[in-house]
Structure formats: C-alpha cells, structure tokens
Amino acid sequence: MKSAHPAARPFWPVLLFTCLLSLNAHAIDDDENIDEMDEVTPEELSYEDIPVDERIFLREWPKVPFNTAFFDYTPEQIEARWDEFMVGIRAPFPSADYLEYMISNYPEIVEGVDAFNGDFEDFSQKNIHVWRLFLRGDLQQAREEGMKLGVIGLYPAMFAQILQAIYLTERQSDKYMMLQDVANKVREHFPILERAEDDPIAAEIVAFTKLGYAYALARIAEESPVPVIVFRRYIGKIKGGAEEVVDLIPDHPLGHAFRAGVDAGIMRRVGRATGRITYGARSTVVDESFGKAFEMAPDIPILNYEYANALIYMSRKRDLNQAYDYLARATRFTPAWSMDALDTMYAFKRLQEVRLFDENYRSFRSFERQRRRFSRVTDRNLTNVLTAPLTMEMMEHPEKYALPPQED
C-alpha cells in the first residue's frame, strides 16, 4: 500500500484543533454533545486521497447473491430497453453513431486503446458487451473488460466497481480503497470534461462522470468522522459535483436525489443550523429535489431508500414512520437489472438497521457513533448485502466480530 506523504504529517495537530472548534460549534445543534475527535487517527489526517492497495483488484471479488441469468439481455434487448435501465443514472447508449461523434471530437478518449481499430460498429459492440456484464451482475468482469476500452468503457467499469464496493465488499477498508480508486480514475479525465461541458451531445456522459466521482466520495464521507470530512474537503467536492449534474441535465432523477441526499447527509453529521450556515444545506432543497426525482422516476429502489435516509437524517425519529414506509417500498420492487436488485437487497438490510435504532436508542448521534465504532473495530462494511444486519449484541461487543488481518 502507498505510504502517506511525510510532509503532510506535521499539520495534523492544527487540523485537529480546527475540527474540534467546528465540532463544538455544531454540538449544541444536535441531540447530545458527542466529540468525534477520539475516532480520528493522525494517519487519517496525513493524506487527502486514501492510499489504494492495487492488490484488491487482483483478488477474486465476491459474487452477487442472485443468478445472473435473470438479467442477461442480448445486445438487441439492451438497446430496446436502454431508457428503462438508465432512467435513473442517464448514461448515454454507446451506439456506433454516438461513438463516432465522441471520438471525432474528443480523440483522446481512445488514445492507446488497442480495442479500437477505427471500426465504430465493432467498438460499439464491445462497449455494449461491458454494459451487458454490468447489467447482469458480473461486476469484476465488467470492470476488467471496460478498462480496456478507454474513457467510454471506463464509465460502466467504474460504476460496476462502485456497486461492488458498496454492496459486496466485506471489509470497510477495501470499500474505501475501491471508491477512492473510482474517484482517482475519473478525475484523470476532468480535462476532457471541461472541453465537453458546453457540448449538448456530450452532456450526459459529462454528467454521468461527475455523478460517479462525487458519489464515490460521498460514500466514503458518509461514514467518516467529521474531522476527516473537513480535512479532505469532501463536502465541497461532493456538493459541487451534485450541483453540476443537475445544471447539465435538469431532468436527471438520480442527480436531483443525490443533490438532496448531500444536503441531508450534511445535516446528519453537523446538524441543521451548522449545515445551513456553514455549508448551505437546506431541508427545502431536500424536499424539492426529491420531489423532482420522484416525479421523473418513482419506481427506483435507491430513490426510495435514500429518501427514507434523508428523512431520518433531517428529523431523527419525528418522521420515522414515513421513513419506514419508503424503506419497505424499496424492498418490494421487481428489479430489472443488477443495480436494482442490489439496491432492493440493501433497502431490506437498512430497514432492519433503522428498527434497531428505533427500538434501542433515544439519540440518533449515539446510534451513529456506535455504528461507526463497530465498523472501525471490525473493519466490516455495513452496506454489504451478503452479511446479516446489525444487532445490539454486535453493537455492544464489536471486538467479537472483528475480521482477521488480511493476508499479504
């Protein structure tokens, strides 16, 4: 694994003090004063980007917990149902005509790509094959095949990696590294995005890229201590990316939901008042943005469970019954492809977790802090759908559930 830059180390005590002031400012805005400083190590404040151990890509990844034949579509079926599959993420279909336009105007997207020989139809079929792997749930293969196709193939590859990290990775540390790797690889292509932002034909792929980058960082930030979030400047990166997605594609369902989720997540961690004053997070934005998302795509599992989370983050137990309803609704959809299936499975697991909070905790912040402690002690990824939901026994005795050290 890469080592942190030694020059960054002397500054961490100053940042700890700065973050402590921030935490003290928001403590009175929540249900109890719980200091997050004891959750932070100097090492975590010695790097802005999480070091990535490339060995995680050489191991065999855990498989999806369903038969991939359920979602195995032919190229013709994928093209015919593309708008249905992509109603939430709005990725552009990689047709030969689309690829010819993109490559003609942005030739760097295929620089050094051996798989492209000038035949746009052949290149289209290769890209559709990667999406076929992704749709059916062969996520590691989708990642490996997509990486061979340059920038265009990078998008399904990285989105497959995000799903793998969130829903199927056993270790929290591996999850963070996989998400950081997505952010790193997407960030390399930001210069192309800057050129393409004003191109209406390229707008969808630019928005898709920005969404993937910000979403990967958001999934790291949502479970990180506030001082780490502040030091790594996650909020600015994530909130800025969310705004850019809906600016580019005003009718982007998950773009609106993500923007709403970002504001709700900020309130989750620092409270309403500090979230509004310091970071511009507003409950009205959450309500309006989720309202727009539901108008465009009401039947997406992730949209329903994210709204349930937002209700809890903003209102704690006040709107818990409504949150229960949306979580339960998310579990009842019939999935059309791998992402829907995994989202539905996670909604069920999250429902059990929310019940644990409801039945055993008065304070949401105490529940969250103990939940984060469980992950830190055990290195277990709590969004993994392959493992059992949290219990009070697990929360009170995390040392019993600690994963053994990784073998070299």
With vertex at residue 156, the alpha carbon angle to CA 152 and CA 158, rounded to the nearest 5 degrees, is 100
Residue with tokens 């079926």: 77
With vertex at residue 100, the alpha carbon angle to CA 95 and CA 105, rounded to the nearest 5 degrees, is 130
Please provide residue 193's backbone torsions phi and psi, each rounded to the nearest 5 degrees.
-60, -40
Nearest to 174 by CA among 133, 138, 219: 219
* Number of other residues whose CB lies within 10 A of the CB of residue 237: 18
pLDDT confidence band for 36 (50 / 70 / 90)? low
Percentage of residues of the chain with pLDDT beyond 70: 90
What is the spatial distance between Cα 112 and Cα 150, in angstroms, rounded to a whole number?
A: 8
From 2-11, 153-162, 265-274, 339-348, the region with the lowest mean pLDDT:
2-11
The 10s digit of each residue's pLDDT in 104-159 is: 999 999 999 999 999 999 999 999 999 999 999 999 999 999 999 999 999 899 99
Burial class (CB within 10 angstroms; exposed 0-12, middle 13-18, buried 19+) of 46: buried
The 10s digit of each residue's pLDDT in 23-34 is: 444 443 444 444
The 10s digit of each residue's pLDDT in 55-64 is: 999 999 999 9
Amino acid 16: pLDDT: 40
Amino acid 134: pLDDT: 97
56 and 169 Cβ atoms separated by less than 8 Å: no
From 79-88, 134-143, 201-210, 340-349, the region with the lowest mean pLDDT:
201-210
pLDDT confidence band for 408 (50 / 70 / 90)? low
**Which secondary structure element, helix H or strand E, spans residue 75, and what is its range?**
helix 75-80
The set of residues, in sequence order, having a beta carbon less than 8 Å from that of 57 and lying 6+ positions away, is 143, 181
Amino acid 37: pLDDT: 53
pTM greater than 0.85 (yes/no) = yes
